[in-house]
Structure 1
């Protein structure tokens, strides 16, 4: 049987690995072909992209591995192999010498286990892993790769004809891991782009930063960046360090030495705050926080008689877990060791007995420092609290200093960063709740809006070094952060873009960057394959309805238990499987890199999809 894998990123590679392993063990014949317009590893990790020498991963090297493990249910045959860090130490020095692009990363191998690697280096690890899979093929399996874009999929009898590079080929099964697609502009973006074209301005819409050419942005001129998420930090580095500037240590802080080629950056967002720094890593490759309150049993007990879970009850339990971890870390922190002296056990007992809504009052009664008393409004909306009559730059530097000091204490020990990091460790539990549809549609909508905002702000932040670099750039006025409620408009009178915020700032600039990736929106898709998938009704908006409640998601529908594609009529598309970013909202939190020993979703998907396909092949051949 012939299997096509569309997408050569981590998901495609993981599925290829499991198909080969299962087919060899179960003596099922498979011919696997993988397709992607980019090299193995896909667009994000492309080692041939020069910017991926300097743009870094968001996970420490010791917590990345492509070898599946027994934390996954029914994983298929398990192969032992090096984690990314072990590969860097043991294999990469020789392996990289074997290719011209590999040689350019030889000077990037001086990495410790808790460092963050250049993205291109993890792309090379994926290429090595793909070659390792091919070595496992035998009498029952073959694996090939072609760097080409798939233009169309057409059902033909019980197979699928795939069009690529002026030719086509038929397959029995297809797995798609399409990642972020290319979109046409939405109404607002189109207005900006047309205005820029008329007035010879520079507008950069939502895109992968490593594929964005910023050379047209002149030195010393203003540029507006809208967005303070992870994408912002890529653009920040591209416009500063990648233009010849240098970060140097100056006592306990970083200092930026400008090259003179930098523009002046004015950046902002709705909240006016960057994502929080990730705490300095203190965890082993597979080490996870074990929740005390937010447990499977406690969540099960919250279900009502219909088997559904109320969002407010869910959040209250999460709130208790994260706040308890915060205060537990706080009273162990050497800087605060004398807060409550011998009353530690009494304090923790009070917290265990009470709901999180009482924690602020309890903390005050025990004389906790004001800036260490957990307050959701202050955590999420600090920039709104800044004095309008004082320098926002000074307030911002103090805010960043606090974040840096806290995150430096580690992702196990820091009062705040240590609490934020537990979100990474309980994601599988949260994902199970969401994907098993324990929430009714109204509660699902609250989860996807309210909880996602909290999760992203607290736990998806950049490495600590990026926040230190941001502080240095703010200090020397190369980066200027605008206040909350940033809005950008066209300014026809001055033939420029115009930004303002709640702080009554007014900035004009000839360049505007949208610091975000393209949205998952089938209505805006421009790639030929996505247009075909839309045409057949295979990719479509997902609708959930129970009783009078309905939620519409701009995510393609799959069965989250099997990853089979479901068409617009609610029918399974036989032989086609899909996973990842196009289904965000049906699946949850899909943008991750495989981590060993923690039931990571990419391993889970690969195990399920490979078993589904191999089992179906066995059924067909038996009949």
Structure 2
């Protein structure tokens, strides 16, 4: 029963997505002109609402976002703002940053104001500064949530959620129990069980007195526990690696300076450990290009578009990824590369560049598999072999190469880093960076089209998530360009070394140390008493250590989604089993849970790229999908309360 005092909603998780849900609840309520009963919104999060856990404002300012200031927002702005009820706080991050730089945001420290002014729209802000924006949005929302609306933050962890008649009963640590009419799970990153290999390493570390650091949010860790001068094995060369790298070098007093050649040099403080870095590819994610937009302005997709991919559904076809989707994006990636090459190096072609591009266009326009032989003919006639782009090979830049020893490997990695940094500096004049820009643009389109069953299960699991996701993550989700230049400087200073591709991590019981080696490098590898997993906890509901998630799964409040791969074997997906939007989780018996909704990372079973923030200015259906989800949930909740016979009875009694 809805109480006489009106409706109550609990949003579990007060980070960016929980804040978006709160903002949309307030916006929808304010947009309704008729009389409304009181509404209480409970925000349940042990961390400060707005920033939540990952975007805490007290974390190191050396931890940077991997998107420029112009990209993220937590509320609808630009094109998205015209599609939904008006936001009570219509300010994206970059607009807030400019306001902060001018001194228009109260409560900022001089350091924060200076960063807001220095970073610019195309720069990469600290995660702490983005956290300040999120906190500001939350404060603005709660300062004036509208007549009859009360927002209460419970600095508690949610322990259990159960159905109690027509309502939900939410138990918090400390003993408090909330009875609410609607619940939104905006849980964000959750702790997760280690995989078997990680478990063995952790157990061995405990036996031999070593330090094993499992996957974690970088801002949670006490980096002072890693001693100077010692080898530290670091597994993972993605975004978390750069947090480890910078915290243990510049964070310990070292200095990067420009040596005048376009490269950086590093002056150690003497307090750094030696980082031994490893990943499957053997090299870090590629850096973002130095451009003034998120997608290069020169990129325009011709083949992988919403219209072309949407045609499958219109024809009643559920496409596969390899057969139907990738060939379209592959064409756009190749077109971006060779058009840029023709623009910046027309003499690189074996024939006149204009004629070559016309032949390329003809090849790419061929429908069906016939385009691949035509492409090969184009390459043979027009492009020197060393300039031909093999997109799939970018996932394994050292594939098939053997290295005599770690010194030879280091030389190869350093060449790779210097080339990548130079390519980033060239921006839209670099063919490879433009090809990656096209892939990133296509990723946004694919995210939109494959959601909610828009791709076959085998296409989703074995193809999109199996090989394409690692490829596009390593190419298009990399760090700011500065980080690659800094890494190269640290390699020259002999403070970062590399294990090599396909590394093997074991615990050596004879010597009581961790050992890391690569089958592609001739020497025996490296040993250390410290091993850091440079990655976030796995986003997999079935392995979550969250007390709340485990309770909901065990009691059948929710269930993970199963996908059927080609051999008919069911595979447990990363996310929850949910209805179509607005996403309501299915119970253990397959029934949609009334008044319960999911927003964010736990939608990984039906959406791809759930960790990517909403893009300022993008439409809700494209780059601002998280705002679309929050809006649909808020609209459904507000409508259900307005139409509830319980509320109408309460109105008549009043």
TM-score range, shorter chain: over 0.9
Give 1:301 shift. 4.5
Q: Identify unmatched segments of 5+ residues in structure 2.
A: 1-6, 365-370, 650-654
1:266 aligns with 2:276: yes
**Which region of structure 1 is more displaced relative to structure 2, 193-202 or 593-602?**
593-602
Match of 2:638 in 1: 614
Match of 1:14 in 2: 20
1:312-336 deviation digits (Å, cap 9, x = unpaired): 2211111111111111111112xx1
Q: In the aligned structure 2, how far is the partner of 1:376 from the partner of 1:286?
A: 18
Match of 1:577 in 2: 597
Match of 2:195 in 1: 186
Q: In the aligned structure 2, how far is the partner of 1:138 from the partner of 1:48?
A: 30
Cα pair 1:558 1:564 within 8 Å, conserved: yes
Q: In the aligned structure 2, how far is the partner of 1:278 from the partner of 1:610?
A: 35
Match of 2:522 in 1: 504
DSSP 3-state at the match of 1:513: strand
DSSP 3-state at the match of 1:281: coil
Match of 1:320 in 2: 331
Q: In the aligned structure 1, how far is the partner of 2:205 from the partner of 2:591?
A: 45
Measured on the aligned residues, the alpha-carbon RMSD in Å equals: 2.6
Q: In the aligned structure 2, how far is the partner of 1:67 from the partner of 1:498?
A: 47
Give 1:288 shift. 9.2
1:414 aligns with 2:446: no
Q: In the aligned structure 2, how far is the partner of 1:295 from the partner of 1:523?
A: 34
Match of 1:157 in 2: 165
Q: Identify unmatched segments of 5+ residues in structure 1.
A: none
For residue 119 of structure 1, the aligned residue among 120, 127, 130 is: 127
- The TM-score with structure 2 as length reference comes to 0.88
DSSP 3-state at the match of 2:348: coil
**Which region of structure 1 is more displaced relative to structure 2, 280-289 or 453-462?**
280-289
Q: In the aligned structure 1, how far is the partner of 2:474 from the partner of 2:349?
A: 31
Q: In the aligned structure 2, how far is the partner of 1:560 from the partner of 1:466?
A: 40
Match of 2:4 in 1: none
Cα pair 1:360 1:374 within 8 Å, conserved: no
Match of 1:568 in 2: 588
Are residues 597 and 510 of structure 1, via their aligned partners in 2, closer, same or farther at CA, if it must alter by over 3 Å? same
For residue 517 of structure 1, the aligned residue among 531, 536, 551 is: 536
DSSP 3-state at the match of 2:614: coil
For residue 232 of structure 1, the aligned residue among 241, 247, 272 is: 241
DSSP 3-state at the match of 1:314: helix
Q: In the aligned structure 1, how far is the partner of 2:401 from the partner of 2:296?
A: 40
Q: In the aligned structure 2, how far is the partner of 1:285 from the partner of 1:424?
A: 7
Match of 1:532 in 2: 551
Give 1:111 shift. 2.0
Match of 1:108 in 2: 115
Cα pair 1:183 1:518 within 8 Å, conserved: yes
Give 1:560 shift. 4.2
Q: In the aligned structure 1, how far is the partner of 2:363 from the partner of 2:203?
A: 56
Q: In the aligned structure 2, how far is the partner of 1:198 from the partner of 1:548?
A: 41
For residue 558 of structure 1, the aligned residue among 561, 578, 581 is: 578
Are residues 375 and 590 of structure 1, via their aligned partners in 2, closer, same or farther at CA, if it must alter by over 3 Å? same
Give 1:123 shift. 0.6
1:281 aligns with 2:291: yes
1:432-468 deviation digits (Å, cap 9, x = unpaired): 3321423222222222212212221221111111111
1:242 aligns with 2:251: yes
Give 1:346 shift. 2.3
Are residues 564 and 296 of structure 1, via their aligned partners in 2, closer, same or farther at CA, if it must alter by over 3 Å? same
Cα pair 1:7 1:42 within 8 Å, conserved: yes
1:511-541 deviation digits (Å, cap 9, x = unpaired): 0111111112334322221122212223432
1:542 aligns with 2:552: no
Give 1:371 shift. 4.1
DSSP 3-state at the match of 1:232: helix
**Which region of structure 1 is more displaced relative to structure 2, 609-618 or 254-263?**
609-618
Are residues 63 and 575 of structure 1, via their aligned partners in 2, closer, same or farther at CA, if it must alter by over 3 Å? same
Q: In the aligned structure 1, how far is the partner of 2:482 from the partner of 2:297?
A: 23
**Which region of structure 1 is more displaced relative to structure 2, 427-436 or 561-570?**
427-436
Q: In the aligned structure 2, how far is the partner of 1:17 from the partner of 1:515?
A: 33
Q: In the aligned structure 2, how far is the partner of 1:435 from the partner of 1:484?
A: 33
1:282-307 deviation digits (Å, cap 9, x = unpaired): 32799794311112332244569652
Give 1:224 shift. 0.8
How many equivalent residue pairs?
616
Q: In the aligned structure 2, how far is the partner of 1:166 from the partner of 1:232?
A: 39
- The TM-score with structure 1 as length reference comes to 0.92
DSSP 3-state at the match of 1:61: coil
